[in-house]
Amino acid sequence: MLEFFNRYIFGVMVPLALIAAGVFYALRLWRLWLRHPGLIIYGMLGRGAGAGMPPLRALSLALAGTLGVGNIVGVASAVYLGGPGAVFWMWISALAAMLLKYAETVIAQNHRRSGRDGEYHGGPMFYIRDFFGSRGLAFSGRLLASLFALLCIIDSLTMGCVIQVNAVTRAFYGVMGLDTALCGGVFAFLAVAVIVTGAKGISELTERLVPFMTVLYVVLSLTVMLKRSQDVPAAFGRIFSGAFSLRSAGGGAAGYVISRAIRFGVMRGLMSNEAGCGTAPIAHAGSSARHPCEQGFLGIFEVFVDTILLCTMTAIVIMIGYDKAAAYGEDPMMMTLAAYSSVLGGWSEYCMCVMVLFFGFATVICWAHYGMECILYLSEKKITRYLFIAAYAAAMLWGAVSEPGGIWGAADFALGAMTLLNLCVVCPMSGEVVKLTGDYIRARLEKRSTKGAASSANTYPPRRDPG
């Protein structure tokens, strides 16, 4: 059943909906990216004001969720299943995703609430409820918001937990021969120790961990590309030819190949940058940004770093070392390790193990935050939070010893359902995004205080209502 939905419904509808929504917002916000690109860069440098975590800390928390093993395992899976052309469609999904991430971040900031703990809480659960409530459909809004929260909890346990831990333990087993159950137990213990500290402890750790692991991964990937610089142009050529080429295949077969490239490219790209599915806005909503648009600009930067930069580097390295990597096609983690080691030698496998550990750990604790925010929305009882943490720890232990195949199907299903539900609300709320963006642009051009612009534009000022 999951395979049917993922292949024939989400595999078709989600890529089309994602690209269509991205084009829609590109047209709605053309003044921003075409006439005022400098404001985007300026807004990224904005400082926070008042309660909540600093904007860059919120960005690091969101990046921790996106810079997971999806940059490694997801890209390898996309290249193996969809061919090199899948990378092109990952780029297309990223271009659409940038403005989508901007829009959903702005909306989440504008509809966030101030909880009893003094922190901001927000995300699709809140703006879905507000959207339908403002149209006299309060019950439907509460129902769909709760459905989104449940789907997000499922995704946190699968994509955000099991898949990440599985990639980490398989990497250490494949390279060092370490027992997966033992690795999973140590990983789960360390992760739970951070998770129980709450949003503050999680965000403080990701603020330090994300920049370090990103720079380390870029250096390692650039080393491969420089050592095999003669193969880089050919790798890019395979990406573009694989996206559209009909040569050496009949029309039907070529259409099938291209459809697989689009499906796996867009879906794995979405799984990597999470744009449109509504998870990252949960992190961005906790920011103390002076204006929703300034946090939205950081959302654009988030997609760029994740998909345009890191995913592209991973894909190029895999294609450079594809002859050796293809032997591990059924295991995307080992496929990636083989690609790096084929160029840099055996020592790179140990470096990649460390990288996978950093990426996986950051993602696991970030998705635990997403799950706990959804739990808080559904119930403020402390027992539900502790039960979720216990279930999350069990999922980590199970992920360490399980086979990853079926989990990808469950993750794709939950992600696809969340995305369609989120887009059905984010697109009709485009007028709010356009208004907030226009207010911000006018305020900056007229050299007015962005703090004043935020207070006048915030339709739903934060209130003490976390759920």
Question: Residue 65: its pLDDT value, please?
Answer: 78
Question: Residue 51: its pLDDT value, please?
Answer: 59
Question: Residue 252: its pLDDT value, please?
Answer: 40
User: DSSP states of 395-425 as a string?
Assistant: HHHHHHHS-SHHHHHHHHHHHHHHHHHHHHH
The distance from CA 1 to its chain's CA centroid, rounded to whole angstroms, is: 25
Question: Residue 465: its pLDDT value, please?
Answer: 54
> For the chain, how big is the Rg over CA atoms in Å?
21
d(Cα 91, Cα 261) in Å, to the nearest integer?
A: 12
* Structural domains of the chain ordered from first start: 2-454 (1.20.1740)
| Contact call for residues 141 and 414 (beta carbons, < 8 A) | no
Question: Residue 142: its pLDDT value, please?
Answer: 94
| Contact call for residues 256 and 7 (beta carbons, < 8 A) | no
d(Cα 353, Cα 355) in Å, to the nearest integer?
A: 5
| Contact call for residues 380 and 466 (beta carbons, < 8 A) | yes
pTM: 0.84
Cα distances (Å, whole numbers) of residue 166 to 325, 333, 383, 466: 19, 9, 28, 33
Question: Residue 259: its pLDDT value, please?
Answer: 46
Question: Residue 253: its pLDDT value, please?
Answer: 41
| Ranges of residues in the chain whose predicted pLDDT is under 70 | 1-8, 10-11, 36-37, 42-52, 70, 244-273, 404-405, 447-467
d(Cα 319, Cα 344) in Å, to the nearest integer?
A: 14
Question: Residue 132: its pLDDT value, please?
Answer: 95
Which H helix or E strand runs over 127? helix 124-133
Question: Residue 399: its pLDDT value, please?
Answer: 86
Structure tokens at 3: 């395979």
| Contact call for residues 130 and 141 (beta carbons, < 8 A) | yes
Question: Residue 146: its pLDDT value, please?
Answer: 95
In the chain, the N- to C-terminal Cα span, in Å, equals 33
SS3 per residue for 218-282? HHHHHHHHHHCHHHHHHHHHHHHHHHHCCCCCCHHHHHHHHHHHHHHHHHHHHHHHCCCCCCHHH
Query: DSSP strand E in 96-187: where?
Result: 113-114, 120-121
